Chains A and B, each alone.
Chain A
Amino acid sequence: MGAVVALSNLLDARQVWRGRAAPLVEGEQPTGWAMLDAALPTRGWPDAALTEILLPADGIGELRLLLPTLARLTRGDRPVVLIAPPYAPCAMGWRQQGVNLQRLEIVDADEKQVLWAAEQCLRSGSCAAVLAWPQQADDRSLRRLQVAADTGRALAFVFRDRKHLANASPASLRLELAGMPHASLWIRKCRGGNTPAQAIPFNQAQRFSGEGWNPMAVMHVVHQHMHGAVDSGLRGNYALEKPSA
């Protein structure tokens, strides 16, 4: 005792941890939804990490949320893997959203193997993103996926029922989708930032713009208007903010 050590020396020697987390790097994984990007601390999906998406029911918009990202990723070298999806992906529907099906691999796995297959794909480092629909996932298995995603530098998405919201999760990002009264998106947990207090509107119309934009889909809108099959929801929302490119 007695020796006085200047605080600045200690700090310079980096022997004292100052309780400030490492600065978040702004990711290179934009979601394709401008308002969601703006709300997330990484300005996009947390890179090489697990994202948990909670749904009240299948078909609520879980793919709409991801298709801009998948369209972008399937243009790269590494494939995107779907593990045990609840339905068959409709090839034409995905192509209309700009997804390159040649980089989309579907893996059929029974309940017990879903998490194993997801972990293998994530850990291998040869997949850009892995989407899994596990029936039985617990904290431990999700943590394994989180570690595997980090090892393999891949995006991991796990789709689960909304009832799991009450349980804690090791995922870096938890999103909850709601269909009623209007389509919206809640950020329930995001590592490195505070969760926003209100939902993010999540509109059907944005499907036709941004990353997954394709002229054929717009032609369809025009076509429908010409035939008088007026789609008020579509036209009403069409002027809304476009997602970021």
Chain B
Amino acid sequence: MLWACLLLPQLALDGVLRGRADNSPLVLVDGPANARTVVAVNASAREAGLRIGQRLTAAQALLARFEAVPYAAADVARWQQFLASVAYRYSSQVALLPHAIVLEVSKSQSLFGSWAMMEHRLRTDFAALGFRYRIAAAPTPHGAYVLAGMSDGQTALSHQGLRQRLDDVPLGKSRLPAQAIDALPRMGVRRLGQLLGMPRDGLQRRFGAELLQAMDRLIGDLPAGLDLYMPPDAVDWTIELSHEVENVAALIFPLKRMTGDLAAYLSGRDGGVQRFLLKLEHRDLAATEVVISMLSPERNADVLFDAARGRLERIQLPAPVLTVRLIADDLPGFVPAGRDLFDERPANALPFEQLRERLRARLGDRAVYQWGSTIDPRPEHSQRIAAQDDAPLEPRPRPTWLLERPIPLRGALRVISGPERLETGWWDGGDTRRDYYILETELGQRAWAFCAPGEQSGWMLHGWFA
């Protein structure tokens, strides 16, 4: 067993910061209305001298302009769930601890390579998502949790190694029950190593079974007893915008984050999304809904962003937007497109599916299509929008351009061939009785035109032999 722990020390702040593109001073505040205190500060606020634990009034005295966002515990839980769904990509055993995610990685090593390589992947993923983290690995989840609390990048691959590292951990960072941590230093026990070496029955008498259980879990003598995380089957995320947005262009940055998150979530559960919904919520009006539906399940961040952006840019906002909500509940399996090893396309070619989604996003859902012929002999019904094409080949010549509806054709015309009598359509009331000819116009065009049987006048143009 090898457990990795991702400690997320600034989950609440990162969750707020990643929604905005600028780096202006920002703090999170919490506490009763008359005694608000700063609980987190970003880099530019720290430079200005703002510190965690300051009163909000003191902070306002230090810096004239900064943004104070209330700390929301629900958001923290949501971000933690989201990151767990990202980590789920690497392991089926993912669990949540306070401000941390632990995952079992030894069984995934045959797929992702050694721990060093997995660590690199996890770091890349979390850095791309914009969260700060510390990583540690140990044979027990609680052991990894404690090591991550000490410093970033601690790795203990064996139980002995874990024990050695734990020996030096001060009790304050051991994450053992608070009662014991308060009392033990007064007895002269300051390091975890000392505690682990003490006689067990004495400890049990003094602190109860709870402490021993926690110690056993830490070094692996007891099973970890964690509730494993199960990813949800639907996505419903909301981003509260920092101000009222009147322009679609200002929604692009939050949208990129959301589609990126969706892609990370989807690859975590090895699925795709075919249809999702963006709800732009206004103050008074009903929410504007933008439906993004694709031809096949996708999970590439660029494809999802392209598709959503193209559709978003075509709408007119009726009122300023307060929140953006992304809902995806149709999450089918994802089958990656197979590609030929000896592909004739250029190396950096965009797959055609991706191109098609990009065109559809900007030009409309029905803008890209294929024609297929039907067995109906009437030219008006001879083709439909379809991918398959199995009708037998027509032996008589057919034009290459077909007019949607026939129009009168005038001018000096010369009959080249014909007539071809068409007398059909009795079965659905669309009776047709026409003589089709190939005509040549003054300009030299070859026209496919018809007239009433036997008349050779009153020509109606129906196609061109272009």
By a beta-carbon cutoff of 8 Å, the part of chain A in contact with chain B is 56-64, 67, 76-79, 85-97, 101-102, 104-110, 113, 116-117, 120-121, 123-127, 151-153, 178-183, 204, 214, 216-217, 219-220, 223-224, 229, 231, 233-234
Contact = CB atoms under 8 A, between A and B. Distances in A.
19 contacts: A57-B445, A63-B400, A78-B344, A78-B345, A79-B352, A87-B404, A90-B379, A90-B383, A90-B401, A96-B393, A106-B371, A107-B359, A107-B368, A125-B346, A179-B444, A216-B395, A219-B395, A220-B397, A233-B416
A87 B404 CA distance: 7
A77 B364 CA distance: 25
A170 B103 CA distance: 59
Contact of A95 (B373, B401, B402): B373
Contacts of A77: 340, 343-345
Contacts of B346: 125, 151-153
Given A58-B401, A224-B417, A116 B371 contact: no
Contacts of A178: 444
B350 interface: yes
Contacts of A87: 401-404, 463-464
B351 A57 contact: no
Given A58-B466, A152-B346, 14 more contacts: A57-B445, A59-B466, A87-B463, A89-B402, A90-B383, A91-B383, A93-B399, A93-B401, A95-B373, A101-B371, A101-B389, A126-B351, A216-B394, A220-B395
Given A78-B345, A86-B401, A105 B443 contact: no
A126 B379 CA distance: 32
Nearest to A178: B444
Interface centre among A67, A88, A153, A219, by most chain B C-beta atoms within 10 angstroms, is A88
Contacts of A60: 443-445, 466
Contacts of B416: 231, 233
B21 interface: no
A233 B383 CA distance: 30
A179 B394 contact: no
Contact of B362 (A59, A92, A113, A229): A113
A93 B368 contact: no
B229 interface: no
A91 B444 contact: no
B399 A90 contact: yes
Contacts of B358: 120
A125 B349 contact: yes
Contacts of B400: 63-64, 67, 89-90, 93-94, 97
Contacts, number: 192
B46 interface: no
Contacts of B391: 92
A102 B386 CA distance: 9
Interface of B: 340, 343-346, 348-352, 354-356, 358-359, 362-364, 366-373, 379, 382-383, 387-389, 391, 393-404, 416-418, 441-447, 463-466
Contact of B383 (A56, A92, A107, A216): A92
A200 to B, nearest CB: 15
Contacts of B362: 113, 116-117
A134 to B, nearest CB: 14
A92 to B, nearest CB: 4
Nearest to B414: A233
Contacts of A101: 370-373, 389
A221 to B, nearest CB: 9
A214 B466 CA distance: 18
Contact of B344 (A76, A86, A107, A204): A76
B397 A217 contact: yes
Contacts of A96: 393-394, 397-398
A56 B370 CA distance: 28
B336 to A, nearest CB: 16
A224 B396 CA distance: 9
A109 B418 CA distance: 36
Contacts of B388: 102
Contacts of B367: 107-109
Nearest to A100: B389
* List of 7 A-B pairs having minimum Cβ-Cβ separation, nearest first: A179-B444, A59-B464, A125-B349, A90-B402, A87-B401, A93-B398, A124-B350
Contacts of A97: 400
B445 to A, nearest CB: 4
A179 B356 contact: no
Nearest to A65: B466
B389 A126 contact: no
A163 B80 CA distance: 64
B442 A92 contact: no
A126 B350 contact: yes
Contacts of A180: 442-444
Contacts of A113: 362-363
A183 B441 CA distance: 12
A64 B445 contact: no
Contacts of A88: 371, 383, 401-404
